[in-house]
Amino acid sequence: MPWEPLSEEQLEIRELVRTLARERIAPRAAEIDASHAFPWDVVELFREHGLFGLFFDEQWGGTGTGTLVSLVAVEEVSKVCATSGLVLAVQELGSLALKLAGSDEQKERYLPRLASGEWLCAYALTEAGSGSDSAAMRTLARREGDDYVLDGSKRFITNAAVASLYTVFAKTDPAAGHSGISAFVVESDTPGFEVARLEPKMGIAGSTTGELLFESCRVPAENLLGDEGEGFRIAMRVLDRSRPGVAAQGLGIAQGATDYALEYARTRETMGKPIAEHELVAAKLADMETRCEAARGLLYRFGRMVDEGAPEAELTKASAMAKLACTDAAMWVTTEAVQILGGYGYIKEYPVERMMRDAKITQIYEGTNEIQRLVIAREMLQESRAFLLSGVA
């Protein structure tokens, strides 16, 4: 038996998710991609088997099984369908602000619905002119009596039009930069809120990505998360914990492509032997597997850090490294998988073409990998390593 970093309980959950992915989701993956239709049947499958609950504590109706196993679940589903893996990852992303900064009343009102999957959720930070530069956002929120009135727009929002609850960031003090940003939870039927459009995309075609509009959108003041001006800090705390969900998606794509390329290379013959026995193809497979395992080490390390209560300040660098390694691996590995399949890899009959298209977005959303490198370097510069050089001439 191979060595496993997971406990018996975690292995049981992984086996459940792996079986569902293989038997119920994999047969749907190509159709989801071709139709560009949101996979409500997969959502229902997740509801039926309690998979949304993996991201929530028991007091809110979740399993309370921790961060590591939730990342494993996203990884397993993404091996066969990146869109379906993203459905799980975004349930964590969209709910984290509530879990980290919500009041007891807010948590009691919303978290059980999210843990059961009755409601899907979304995270609305990005705008057309404000991606990595959050301080440039233009969406405003002004206090009027017992409400806040939101005006503005958000762009590239995953789960647009299918989410029932949105975490929305807006400026309550436009002159204060990052310190003027606040966070709100907005229900989808709030007057003045609408989804203006859905984007056609290169990959993750079954996931909705849309533009949100807020026009005199009245949100009860009780829907403010934390205090005014805490929105940027909340957003960064969320991203530190949610980026590994995208990392898990990327790792799943990479491992799925590796596994498929391996099976293809075992059966496809040239010059009288399987192409897996040709040295150049064998070297590609070896490098693909190694990239996956190295990335998995960083991802699982982050999961264990959260589960074991590591200081929050240590999560920033670990999160960024996991996201960088896993998603760069996804793009590199899927490109190699297409190469191994040759002409077959470039046609839609084979899944590595879809995997390659799906992989690209993982390097972009939830903080581009260029930003992850800046984050990692910034954290390194704050560390003291002089003791390592003691005695070195």
CB 361 within 8 A of CB 204: yes
Task: Kindly give, in sequence order, each residue whose CB lies less than 8 Å from that of residue 366, ignoring residues fewer than 6 positions away.
Answer: 93, 239, 242, 243, 245, 246, 323
Choose the catalytic residue: 75, 127, 211, 366: 366
DSSP annotation of 221 reads G
Tell me whether residue 391 is exposed, middle or buried, using C-beta atoms within 10 angstroms of its C-beta: 0 to 12, 13 to 18, 19 or more: exposed
Q: Which long-range contacts (CB under 8 A, 24 or more apart) does 27-34 make?
A: 28/81, 28/84, 29/80, 29/81, 29/83, 29/84, 29/351, 29/354, 30/348, 30/351, 30/354, 32/81, 32/83, 32/84, 32/205, 32/206, 33/83, 33/205, 33/206, 33/354, 34/205, 34/348
Here the tokens at position 337 are: 């998988």
CA 70/CA 78 separation, integer angstroms: 12
Indicate the residue type of 333: V
Q: How wide is the angle at C-alpha 317 spanned by C-alphas 154 and 302, nearest 5°?
A: 95
CA 263/CA 250 separation, integer angstroms: 20
Nearest to 61 by CA among 120, 117, 104: 117
Task: Kindly give, in sequence order, each residue whose CB lies less than 8 Å from that of residue 336, ignoring residues fewer than 6 positions away.
Answer: 257, 261, 284, 287, 288
Q: How wide is the angle at C-alpha 376 spanned by C-alphas 124 and 202, nearest 5°?
A: 45
Tell me whether residue 279 is exposed, middle or buried, using C-beta atoms within 10 angstroms of its C-beta: 0 to 12, 13 to 18, 19 or more: exposed
Active site residue 9: no
CB 117 within 8 A of CB 91: yes
Active site residues: 366
